[in-house]
């Protein structure tokens, strides 16, 4: 691969030849207005080009080791950051350096406001600063604010909201540099969210009390003051509506403009879920009894095309809001046109569908049956895709992220790649035998395959070309892409690891002297790599520069090392069960776990805000990563076998050794919302779709709805006798009386003296 990059004028089909002499370009990005192009080569040399003239703007010629280069939204500014955390702001038009950041050691990445007038930075000591970009002047209104954990511009760039470690939140007028102090008496705000149009702010103080504010006027609109135990509050995408749901599953839709609840839901009881369509024109409500309703937000009326559908188990909007797909408990799927308020009947003869998936662009639908037969349908034409009509035994079909490609598998594990737009079959996999699990990269440009003999291959999806940079790598036992698809790490059976640039096929040798690497993992943002060898030495590497960050050098016998989902945090546990939390960017150690002994397990929530730890005595604690504090709602839970976050980070579910129940807590409130008692000790627990609890017990799987089924519940699981111990029977009787004790066999009754 020569890594030659070309720029083409699309309308004329003519090549602009100004990149002809540029070799080994690693990335090339247009500015938002398409006038400028920034390129970066494999040696971290960055150049800016005026696209129309094909001329290089040479103001970056002396800049070395640039790690990132980002245009402002209006394309007038470029901010660069090098490997030493030195950030610089440049005028793209005249190439002048605005050196107002020269004394700043930047933590994370500076953020432009949407109008490109302002820049907010944060240093390693959690001091935040706001800068007027054009004048290079610091707006000093944050000078006295300490320990700021987050600073976010409103969508319209007029406001800045800050939150410190003590959960004090302030809203600032960016232009005036003064706090709009309407939140000054609000303590411990756990969440504050602007509406999409920046006119409104909704706050939650953590005890289910929500407040609604006009940002401009700083006035509290008190229409929520009598709404107690609000569980969630969400703006519609167009900012015209607010939907609230309380713990009794009462849902209300409020007009944001006048604070009046639109009463079309007033007679709707026990709504367990309510979701806007992406365009805010539709609302779908679910009642927990397999009943869904669709409402027109514009008219405030029920569109009753689902009135005869009484056994719906799932309903999903397409991304473009034109379609609704429903699936009932008998696995019959139906597609509905929201515009026409009628069913598109092309699925009417399809029975026992196990699942249905929209393509990312909403133009295609994949249905799968229980007999492993998959079909692809054009929503536009309301019929099966012609190009697959001769494929008789498709057992799986998967779209690439950009919806342009489809990969199918038949019952003999032969894979085919198709262009969705043209229906053309790309046959580059036809001679590949014994392939299992081909995987698209995140950007849909690459496909990696592996066979049963541990041979890995990387393919360009567009050209079908096999990139042979792995051809001499033998006995690869493991290979995975980074999240951004730019990097590939391989490990052979002798535990030698290599990092490859997918674009160039170049091998980056910063791991060449690292022997016996047992474990190597990218962070979620693909910027970091952590390795651990057989001697339990862990190292953190910058993937772009190959630089080793040595903040773990004195940590011995590291057992596990795990990144948070946002890649900002790392938790390590050594063989003495000491756990430590680190900032990846600064290498700083946060000591809130220093008094916790014998930690066996620790994991971050999906939103990176929470951490759960469990010690060798099976005592678990939930920690706020932001504050280092832990709410103690698990303090009375002993011998926890599992304590796990749900995907949306709202719930934590626990089960104890030799106990016959599963408990679900709401993290924000610490409230126990469901206790499920079972006839046997459960063997597996999970929460699906952030809502449904699935528990494997005996020969059965028990499903409950966390939104509609709360409190103490009982399931007999596989229907066999209860096998409770005496202590559990006594606890059982206190909860249920003798209502559920009937199935106890005579031996247990006699043993424990149960009548």
In angstroms, how far is the first alpha carbon of the chain from the final one? 80
Mean pLDDT of 421-450: 82
Residue 732, H or E segment: helix 726-736
SS (H, E, C) 106-158: ECCCCEECCCCCEEEEEECCCCEEEEECCCCEEEHHHCCCCCEEEEEECCCCC
What proportion of the chain, given as a percentage, has pLDDT over 90? 13
Q: How long is the chain? A: 755
Say how far apart CA 732 and CA 720 lie, in whole Å. 17
Residues pairing with 476 in the sheet: 492
> What pLDDT does residue 741 have?
56
How many C-beta atoms lie closer than 10 Å to residue 77's C-beta? 22
Place of tokens 């190439």: 95
Which residues are within 8 A (CB) of 31 and not within 5 positions of it... i.e. 6 or more apart? Answer: 37, 38, 71, 75, 92
Q: What are phi and psi of 373, to 5 degrees?
A: -100, 125
Residues pairing with 325 in the sheet: 316, 335
| Exposure of 437 in the CB half-sphere (CA atoms within 13 A) | 5
More confident residue, 297 or 14: 297
Place of tokens 């699309």: 10
Residue 751, H or E segment: helix 746-752
Token representation of residue 705: 């709805």
Place of tokens 């009894």: 289
Model confidence over 483-539: pLDDT tens digits? 888 898 988 888 889 998 888 888 888 998 888 888 888 998 999 999 988 888 899
pLDDT band at 6 (very low <50, low <70, confident <90, very high): low
> What pLDDT does residue 570 have?
95
pLDDT at 553 over 80: yes
Place of tokens 């946002």: 566
pLDDT band at 38 (very low <50, low <70, confident <90, very high): confident
Mean pLDDT of 665-678: 89
> What pLDDT does residue 748 have?
59
Closest to 217 measured CA to CA, from 165, 168, 182, 254: 182
Mean pLDDT of 472-486: 81
Task: Report DSSP letters for 617-653, one per residue.
Answer: T--EEEEETTT-----TTTT--SEEEEEE-TTSSEEE
Model confidence over 121-150: pLDDT tens digits? 887 777 888 988 888 888 888 888 888 878
Residue 500, H or E segment: strand 497-501
Which residues are within 8 A (CB) of 353 and not within 5 positions of it... i.e. 6 or more apart? Answer: 327, 331, 332, 333, 347, 367, 368, 369
Predicted TM-score (pTM) of this structure: 0.51
> What pLDDT does residue 10 have?
47
What Cα–Cα distance (Å) separates residue 501 from each residue in 482, 487, 498, 581?
10, 5, 10, 30
| Exposure of 180 in the CB half-sphere (CA atoms within 13 A) | 19
Q: What are phi and psi of 589, to 5 degrees?
A: -95, 125
Closest to 579 measured CA to CA, from 621, 521, 526, 517: 621
Mean pLDDT of 298-316: 81
Model confidence over 47-105: pLDDT tens digits? 888 877 778 888 888 888 888 888 998 999 999 888 787 889 999 888 888 888 888 87
Closest to 166 measured CA to CA, from 183, 140, 202, 190: 190
Place of tokens 């069913």: 343
**Sign of the torsion angle spanned by Cα atoms 432, 410, 483, 693:** negative
pLDDT band at 14 (very low <50, low <70, confident <90, very high): low
SS (H, E, C) 534-578: CCCCEEEEECCCCCEECCCCCCCCEEEEEECCCCCEEEEEECCCC
The answer to whether residues 66 and 80 touch, using CB atoms and an 8 Å cutoff, is yes
pLDDT at 224 over 80: yes
> What pLDDT does residue 11 have?
46
Which residues are within 8 A (CB) of 475 and not within 5 positions of it... i.e. 6 or more apart? Answer: 454, 492, 493, 494
Q: Cα 55 vs. chain centroid, distance in angstroms?
A: 40
The answer to whether residues 155 and 197 touch, using CB atoms and an 8 Å cutoff, is yes
> What pLDDT does residue 46 have?
87
Say how far apart CA 349 and CA 256 lie, in whole Å. 44
> What pLDDT does residue 691 have?
84
Closest to 164 measured CA to CA, from 147, 181, 178, 152: 147
Look up residue 484 and give its DSSP letter. T
> What pLDDT does residue 72 have?
92
Least reliable range by pLDDT among 65-74, 115-124, 449-458:
449-458
Closest to 314 measured CA to CA, from 652, 692, 717, 706: 692
Say how far apart CA 8 and CA 16 lie, in whole Å. 6
Model confidence over 197-219: pLDDT tens digits? 999 999 888 777 889 988 988 88
The answer to whether residues 306 and 293 touch, using CB atoms and an 8 Å cutoff, is yes
3-state SS class at 438: strand
Which residues are within 8 A (CB) of 451 and not within 5 positions of it... i.e. 6 or more apart? Answer: 432, 433, 434, 435, 436
Look up residue 277 and give its DSSP letter. -
pLDDT band at 8 (very low <50, low <70, confident <90, very high): low
Say how far apart CA 242 and CA 222 lie, in whole Å. 14
pLDDT at 115 over 50: yes
The answer to whether residues 417 and 461 touch, using CB atoms and an 8 Å cutoff, is yes
> What pLDDT does residue 380 have?
84
Model confidence over 692-720: pLDDT tens digits? 888 887 767 788 888 888 888 888 776 77
Model confidence over 679-696: pLDDT tens digits? 888 888 888 777 888 888
What Cα–Cα distance (Å) separates residue 728 from each residue in 47, 618, 660, 718, 732?
70, 19, 8, 19, 6
Say how far apart CA 448 and CA 451 lie, in whole Å. 10
Token representation of residue 598: 């014998």
Closest to 225 measured CA to CA, from 239, 205, 241, 240: 205
pLDDT band at 309 (very low <50, low <70, confident <90, very high): confident
What proportion of the chain, given as a percentage, has pLDDT over 70? 92
Q: In the predicted model, what is the mean pLDDT of the chain? A: 83
Token representation of residue 269: 């009881």
pLDDT at 678 over 70: yes
Token representation of residue 1: 């691969």
Token representation of residue 677: 């008692």
């Amino acid at each position: 691969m020569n890594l030659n990059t070309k720029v083409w004028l699309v309308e004329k089909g003519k090549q602009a030849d100004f990149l002809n002499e540029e070799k080994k370009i690693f990335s090339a990005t247009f500015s938002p207005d398409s006038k400028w192009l920034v390129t970066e080569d494999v040696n971290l040399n960055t150049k800016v080009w005026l696209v129309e003239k094909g001329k290089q703007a040479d103001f970056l010629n002396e800049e070395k080791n640039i790690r990132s280069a980002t245009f402002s939204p209006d394309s007038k500014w470029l901010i660069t950051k090098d490997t030493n955390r030195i950030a610089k702001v440049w005028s793209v038009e005249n190439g002048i350096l605005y050196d107002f950041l020269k004394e700043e050691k930047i933590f994370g990445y500076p953020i432009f406001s949407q109008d490109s007038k302002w820049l907010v930075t944060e240093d390693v000591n959690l001091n935040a600063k706001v800068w007027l970009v054009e004048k290079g002047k610091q707006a000093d209104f944050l000078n006295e604010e300490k320990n700021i954990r987050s600073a976010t511009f409103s969508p319209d760039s007029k406001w800045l909201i800050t939150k410190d470690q003590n959960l004090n939140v302030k809203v600032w007028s960016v232009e005036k540099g003064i706090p709009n102090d309407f939140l000054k008496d609000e303590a411990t705000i756990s969440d504050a969210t602007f509406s999409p149009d920046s006119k409104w702010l909704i706050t939650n103080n953590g005890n289910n009390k929500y407040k609604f504010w006009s940002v401009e006027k700083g006035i509290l609109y008190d229409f929520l003051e009598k709404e107690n135990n609000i569980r969630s509050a969400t703006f519609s995408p167009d900012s015209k509506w607010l939907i609230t749901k309380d713990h009794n599953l009462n849902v209300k839709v409020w007009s944001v403009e006048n604070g009046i609840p639109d009463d079309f839901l007033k007679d709707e009881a026990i709504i367990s879920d309510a979701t806007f369509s992406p365009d805010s024109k539709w609302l779908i409500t679910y009642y927990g009894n397999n009943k869904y309703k669709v409402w027109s937000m514009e008219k405030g009326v029920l569109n009753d095309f689902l009135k005869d559908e009484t056994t719906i188990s799932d309903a999903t909007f397409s991304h473009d809001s034109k379609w609704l797909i429903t699936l009932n408990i008998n696995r019959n799927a139906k597609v509905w046109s929201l515009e026409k308020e009628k069913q598109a009947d092309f699925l009417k003869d399809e029975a026992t569908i196990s699942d249905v998936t929209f393509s990312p662009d909403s133009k295609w639908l994949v249905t799968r049956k229980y007999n492993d037969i998959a079909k692809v349908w054009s929503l536009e034409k309301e019929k099966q895709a012609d190009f697959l009509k001769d494929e008789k035994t498709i057992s799986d079909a998967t779209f690439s992220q950009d919806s342009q490609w489809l990969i199918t598998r038949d019952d003999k594990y032969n894979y085919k790649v198709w262009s969705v737009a043209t229906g053309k079959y790309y046959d580059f996999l036809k001679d590949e035998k014994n392939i299992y699990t081909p995987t698209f990269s995140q950007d849909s440009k690459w496909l990696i395959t592996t066979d049963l003999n541990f041979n890995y291959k990387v393919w360009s999806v567009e050209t079908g070309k096999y990139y042979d940079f792995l051809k001499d790598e033998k006995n690869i036992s493991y290979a995975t892409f980074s999240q951004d698809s730019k990097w590939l790490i391989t490990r052979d059976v002798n535990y030698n690891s290599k990092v490859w640039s997918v674009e160039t096929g170049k091998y980056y040798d910063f791991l060449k002297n690292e022997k016996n690497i047992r474990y190597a993992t990218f962070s979620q943002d693909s910027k970091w790599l952590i390795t651990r060898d057989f001697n339990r030495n862990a190292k953190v590497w910058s993937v772009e520069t190959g630089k080793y960050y040595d903040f773990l050098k004195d940590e011995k016998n590291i057992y596990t090392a795990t990144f948070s989902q946002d890649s900002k945090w790392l938790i390590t546990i050594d063989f003495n069960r000491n756990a430590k939390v680190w900032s990846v960017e600064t290498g700083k150690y946060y000591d809130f776990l220093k008094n916790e002994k014998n930690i066996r397990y620790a994991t971050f929530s999906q939103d990176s805000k929470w951490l759960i730890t469990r010690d060798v005595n099976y005592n678990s604690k939930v920690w706020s990563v932001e504050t280092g504090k832990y709410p103690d709602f698990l303090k009375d839970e002993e011998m926890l076998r599992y304590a796990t976050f749900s995907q949306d980070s709202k719930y934590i579910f626990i089960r104890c050794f030799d106990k016959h129940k599963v408990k679900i807590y709401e993290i924000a409130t610490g409230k126990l919302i469901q206790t499920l008692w079972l006839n046997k000790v459960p063997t597996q627990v999970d929460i699906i779709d952030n809502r449904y609890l699935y528990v494997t017990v005996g020969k059965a799987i028990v499903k409950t709805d966390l939104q509609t089924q709360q409190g103490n519940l009982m399931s007999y699981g596989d229907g066999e006798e209860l096998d409770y111990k005496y202590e559990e029977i006594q606890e059982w009787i206190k909860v249920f009386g003798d209502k559920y004790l009937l199935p106890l066999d005579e031996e247990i009754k006699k043993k424990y003296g149960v009548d």
